[in-house]
Amino acid sequence: MFRRSRDPLRKALETLYHVRLLRNKIDMLYNRVSERRDVLFEKLTDLESKGEKYLAKRYAEEIAKLDKLLARLAAVQLILEKIDLALQYAINMREFSGLASEINNLVKDMSKIPELNIPDLNLVFIELQASARELSEASEANSVVDINYSIPEGSDVKRILEEAREVMKKKLENELTV
C-alpha cells in the first residue's frame, strides 16, 4: 500500500554490499581452485618422476583448464573491484545519476560471463543485478531532487568504469573466439 521512497544512497549501499559479497565468494572459489591446482601439480611432478607419461599428460591438461578458470575469475574480480571503487565514489559524493546507469549496464554485461553461472556465485549475482537495477531506477526517480555539490565530473571514476568495461569486453571476445 505505502511504498518507500527510493533513496539512491540506500540502494547504492545495498549494491556495494552485494558487490563485496560476490567478490568474497569469488575469492573463496579462487582459493579453492588454486589449492586444487597446486595439489594436481604436485601429483603431476610425482607422476613425471615415476615415468608415467600418460597420466602426467592428463594431469597437465586438467591444470591447464584450472589455470584458464583462475584467469577468468581474476578478470571478474578486477571488474568487481572497479565497480566497488565507483560505488564508493558515488556514495561519498552523493552523485548517483550517471554512475548508477553505467554500473547497471556493466552488471548486465557481466551476466554473459559463464563463471557467474556457477550455482554458488549465481545466487549472489542475481541479487547484485536486482540491486544495481534498483539503484539505477532510484537515481533516475530522484534525479530532480538530487543534491549536487560543486565537484569535478568524476573523470577518474568514469575512467575506472571504462577500464572495467574494456576488461569485460576482452573477456567476452576471448570466450566467443575460443
Query: Could you read off the pLDDT of 66-92 as tens digits, one per residue?
Result: 999 999 999 999 999 989 998 888 888
Model confidence pLDDT, tens digit, residues 5-44: 568 888 889 999 999 999 999 999 999 999 999 999 999 9
SS3 labels along the chain: CCCCCCCHHHHHHHHHHHHHHHHHHHHHHHHHHHHHHHHHHHHHHHHHHHCCHHHHHHHHHHHHHHHHHHHHHHHHHHHHHHHHHHHHHHHHHCCCHHHHHHHHHHHHHHCCCHHHHCHHHHHHHHHHHHHHHHHHHHHHHCCCCCCCCCCCCCHHHHHHHHHHHHHHHHHHHHHHHC
- Entry pTM: 0.76
The pLDDT value given to residue 119: 86
Residue 152 has pLDDT above 50, yes or no: no
**Domains of the chain by start residue, with CATH:** 18-171 (1.20.1260)
Residue 142 has pLDDT above 70, yes or no: no
